[in-house]
Amino acid sequence: MTSLRLALKGLRWRAGSSLAVLLVAVAAVGGAALGPMYAHSAEESLVRDGLAQAPTVTTSVQYRGGVAGQTQFTPIEIRDAVEQQAADPALDPWYLTGTLAMSVVNGSPATADGALGSAQVSWYRGQCEAVIILAGQCPRGPGEAMLSARTADQAGVGLGEQVRLGITADPAQDQATVVGLYDAASADPAVWGLGTPQQFRTAAIEGQPDRLDEVLVDEATMSGISGDVSVSSLRQLDAQSVGLSGVDAMRAAVETATAIPNPDDISGARTVATSGLPAFLDSLQPQVDSMRAATVAVTLQLVLLAWFVLFLLVSATSEERAGEIALAKLRGMTPRSTVSFGLAEPVLLLLVAVPIGLALAWLADVFLARAYLGAGTDVAVTPVALIAAIATCLGGALAAALAARGILTAPVLEQLRRTSGRRARLLRSSAVDAMAVALAVAGIYQLRRGSTDGLALLAPGLIALAAGLLAARALPRLARIAVSRTRTSSSVASFIAVRNIARRPSGLRIVVLLTLAIGIAVFAIDGWFVASANRDQLARAQVGSATVLTVSTDSPGALLAAVDEVDPDGNAALAAVTVSNGDGGLIAVDASRLAAVSSWDPTWAGNTPTGIGSTLHPPSPSPSIAVQGGLTADVTLDRRSGDARVLFAVAVRDARGVPHEIEAGELADGSQRVTADLPMCEDQPCTLTALTFRQPIEIPSTAVEADIGISAASDSLGPVDLAPVGAAGWRPGASSIQVPVDAGAAVASATAGTLGLQVSLDGPADAAVQVADHPDRLPVVQGSELAARPDTSTVVSGLDGRFVGIDVRGEGVLPRLLSQGTLTDLPYALAAMESAPGPFTAMVWLGASAPPDTVADLERAGLVVLGQETIASRSAELDRSSEALSLRLFVLAALLALALAAGTLLASAYVVTRRRGYELAALRALGASTRTLVGTGRTEQSLLAGTGVALGTAAGLWSASLAIPALLGASAAGGPPPWFGPAWVPVGVVVAGALALLLLVADAGSRRIARKAVPELLRQVQE
């Protein structure tokens, strides 16, 4: 107790250096603890972010049961089985209550007038509250049905009308009255689960029924039928409820819930439960692992640096206390008492530093979590953080012991004479140097091989340390050479400064410390800025433009039209459509607007923003030919050979971009007036795409060759010019890949209003000529990975799911698809369609300068906005990737390292004041001026600081050039070409700032020492 009080008095007596040691110890403990704490938070954030961003289909647990294959059970029994299994209480901590749905997938609703199409007929638990009912009411009993307003509109069915649902053969169960109309877009996903009632789609194949929006019925209707009813339930993950500590339990619960039931157990209705959650968690693991590895690497470096700093400071203060420790020996204390007396003060500081450091680490983690991690991320003092803090504290005590060792063993009287000639044994130890260099070399070797990122983050510390240690060995030698030079020079200051460097180890330690700290800082700053520039670039490529809206629309053509209506000038918005295919997908954009709207970067595919527009959308050979409400023309058939019958058809594309082909009838020899009725072109004009000739199928085919003339074409609005640009406006074939073999058609002449065709038919194949209002082959840019694959250079699966010929005009990174897939022009891709579009995702890209009311305008134009993504939001998401999180920690550690180094420098300038003061006092006694004295200190300190900063900068930049490619390699794969830096500006700012600060400290320190170096000081040492 008394010894504690005495130690406290001692600490107060040396308030300045005590505070310095305490601050360094707090920074060390805090830094060491922050690493694991931040890792914990970042890991949790990664998992929570991942789960929150993952699609419902991945994270949910889905239950399915069906009558098919289990015909011994009624729909009710199956529903009960699904409901019971889905009510699994083990999932309750993380999963919401399940949905419940009973459906017949392939119903075929029909009115007395005929079939309406194919539709899913369903009941959802809670459906009446989950959709907006526009007219009538929700089905309340058997025999009642509710249609979407769109279906009712398309089919012309009103409230109160009778429909057959087409879900069972029994007419009594199949009959329903339409009691309500609902808005399919309003369906609440909490009730609908993965599906949506918006299922309308034009049939992909001509003549097949269209797919209608979902038809809703009452539960009793579904329960009562004997048809093929499937029952499903979905439990959605509540991502907010997941904490890192609960992930394993959640995973176990999901795995149990989705375990395949015993196939021998046939006692009840079978229900299958599935979830993508375990696989998804597995896919997160590499990120979590790399985050952990990085944290260990960063923390290790920080702790090592902190130990080093503690060693420096504690040895400086120990030397200051040499006299006191000598007193303990003079009094005959046992070595143990002397050690405990000698270490009491630093150990006390270290102990105090643990709670303060932990508290500060906790605060910093709270701040980091708030600022950079997902909302609600847990912040906790983890056991690992506690261990790290204690290890740092113990390491500090060890450093103190090392520092005090020499003092404890030195002869009493020598110590009292205060001439500390002790050498820095630790630094002199070649073994330590050799080990550091060996580790650094191993690190460099691993990095060159492109090894793991954990090591990549350890390398800068190792390389800088090795550089610092080597410099510490080389410097005295160089200084010795310089001594002989400066001996003859007139500057006393530089002579003494160089001589001091040559023989004083404490300065060399400063060089090692500075090299290490600056090396780490330069690497971290460079790495951070380079990585964040790359993340921004990736975000721009992944999103496509400042803001991207995902919208719902009938067809790509309608999308194009709506965007055109809202932004006729093409400065703010751009229509884009993606289609998935086996080749990485197809993205079709309104290419002429790319330059104005998108975030296209020339490095992506070697095209300027304007260049890419003209690459994808070159001028077409011919303008489009519009037709409204039926096409009439005078057609002359003039046979050259053969007498087979010839049928004539007209192909058009309607306003929504959907192609149609209308038979115009059989052509008789000679001249005739032919009319093709085009009902789809009544309201809005269509675009003429092709003229087709074929033989009737039932007739055994024979060859025909004929000249066909078409003139005086007209539609409901008046004459139609079929040859606006002459023969070049037409080309053979209905599409770019249809290769005429036996059959063929070609435009032989095209003069004002008259087409002269040469047609040859042999067999069932069509002969056609098409309007050349789009390039024969679709100009595309391919993703570099797709381009690298063989056999991908001639065709691509287009908007209609059919192959279309392509003209590959470049390769590289594509917006949204990155290195996969194909980029093409939307208007041309529409023109190249031969049938109705398949499933697609519609987007509207908005430029950074799009007016704020654009979204509202788009909705007014008929688009339903489903979602929105911005480059900024994507960037923010990427900022929460493991690589960004690790680098952020590294930057933090680097700033701490810089602060530690600066603090140590300042503190040691104060602590060594007294010792150095004697020397300067002696110089002054010999007649040196104050200016010389200040100059000596300043020159020495500046030389040391300059060496440390220069070496550290070189080491940092070099390790960055090695490690950053390895670090970014993995995350940059498949993205825009990565930029490896160096980020000169931020690095320059940090280095210049550090240098300026160090020079300031050097100046202030040497002034202070010179001021204190009065000759009276010498009298105290004498005798």
Partner 1 sequence: MSAPATAKQSRGLGVRCEELVHIYRTGDVDVVAVRGVDLVVRAGERVALLGPSGSGKSTLLGMLGGLIPPSAGRLWIGDEETGGLSERALLGLRAQRIGFVLQGAARNLLQYGTPIDNVRFAHRSVRRSARRDLMEPRELLDVVGLGPVADRPVPSLAGGEQQRVALAVAVANGPGLLLADEPTSQLDTAGRDAVLDLLDLVNERFGTTVIVVTHDADVGARLGRTVSMRYGRVGNEGDRGQQYTVVGKDGSVHLPDDVVAEWPPGTHVLVERTEDGVHMRRRPT
What residue ranges bind partner 1 (CB under 8 A)? Answer: 2-3, 5-6, 9-10, 12-14, 323-324, 327-335, 337, 341, 411-413, 416, 1023
CB 750 within 8 A of CB 764: no
CB of 413 to partner 1, least distance (A): 6
- Judged by beta carbon, residue 412 or residue 864, the one nearer partner 1 is 412
CB 734 within 8 A of CB 651: yes
Pairing of strands 132-136, 822-825: unpaired
- Judged by beta carbon, residue 265 or residue 1023, the one nearer partner 1 is 1023
- Judged by beta carbon, residue 251 or residue 417, the one nearer partner 1 is 417
- Which helix (H) or strand (E) is 434 found in, with range? helix 430-448
CB of 402 to partner 1, least distance (A): 21
User: Alpha-carbon torsion 391, 392, 394, 395, what sign?
Assistant: positive
CB of 381 to partner 1, least distance (A): 35
CB of 929 to partner 1, least distance (A): 31
- Judged by beta carbon, residue 412 or residue 999, the one nearer partner 1 is 412
- Judged by beta carbon, residue 849 or residue 1020, the one nearer partner 1 is 1020
- Judged by beta carbon, residue 13 or residue 984, the one nearer partner 1 is 13
CB of 9 to partner 1, least distance (A): 5
- Judged by beta carbon, residue 330 or residue 848, the one nearer partner 1 is 330
3-state SS, one letter per residue, for 11-74: HHHCHHHHHHHHHHHHHHHHHHHHHHHHHHHHHHHHHHHHHHHCCHHHHCEEEEEECCCCCCCC
3-state SS, one letter per residue, for 209-278: CCECCCEEECHHHHHHCCCCCEEEEEECECHHHCCHHHHHHHHHHHHHHCCCCCCCCCCCCCCEEEECHH
- Cα–Cα distances in angstroms (integers) from residue 82 to residues 126, 574, 680, in the given order: 17, 45, 46
Q: What are phi and psi of 558, to 5 degrees?
A: -65, -40
- Judged by beta carbon, residue 789 or residue 1019, the one nearer partner 1 is 1019
Amino acid at the residue 513: L
- Judged by beta carbon, residue 348 or residue 596, the one nearer partner 1 is 348
- Judged by beta carbon, residue 325 or residue 990, the one nearer partner 1 is 325
- Which helix (H) or strand (E) is 877 found in, with range? helix 871-878
Find where tokens 């010795």 sit.
480
CB of 923 to partner 1, least distance (A): 22
CB of 412 to partner 1, least distance (A): 5
CB of 1019 to partner 1, least distance (A): 11
- Judged by beta carbon, residue 406 or residue 935, the one nearer partner 1 is 406
Amino acid at the residue 944: L
CB of 296 to partner 1, least distance (A): 42
Report which of 1008, 952, 1014 is spatially closest to residue 471, judged by C-alpha positions.
Answer: 952
- Judged by beta carbon, residue 418 or residue 645, the one nearer partner 1 is 418
Q: Strand pairing partners for 986?
A: none
CB of 498 to partner 1, least distance (A): 23
DSSP sequence for 602-656: HHHHS--HHHHHHHHSPPPSS--EEE-S-EEEEEEEEEEE----EEEEEEEE-TT
Residue 630, phi-psi category: left (phi > 0), alpha (psi -120 to 50), beta (remainder)? left
CB of 11 to partner 1, least distance (A): 9
- Judged by beta carbon, residue 346 or residue 527, the one nearer partner 1 is 346
CA distance 816 to 593: 16
> Residues 6 or more apart from 482 whose CB is under 8 A from it?
498, 502
**751 three-state secondary structure:** strand
CB of 418 to partner 1, least distance (A): 10
Angle at the Cα of 774 (from 830 to 716), degrees rounded to 5?
A: 75
Six token digits for residue 508: 């060399």
In angstroms, how far is the first alpha carbon of the chain from the final one?
36
**135 three-state secondary structure:** strand
Report which of 231, 194, 241 is spatially closest to residue 91, judged by C-alpha positions.
Answer: 241
Q: Which residues of 419-456 are buried (b: 16+ CB within 10 A; e: fewer)?
A: ebebebebbeeeeebeebbebbeebbebbeeeebbbbb
- Judged by beta carbon, residue 43 or residue 319, the one nearer partner 1 is 319
Residue 791, phi-psi category: left (phi > 0), alpha (psi -120 to 50), beta (remainder)? left
Find where tokens 């959605």 sit.
236
CB of 17 to partner 1, least distance (A): 13
CB of 332 to partner 1, least distance (A): 3
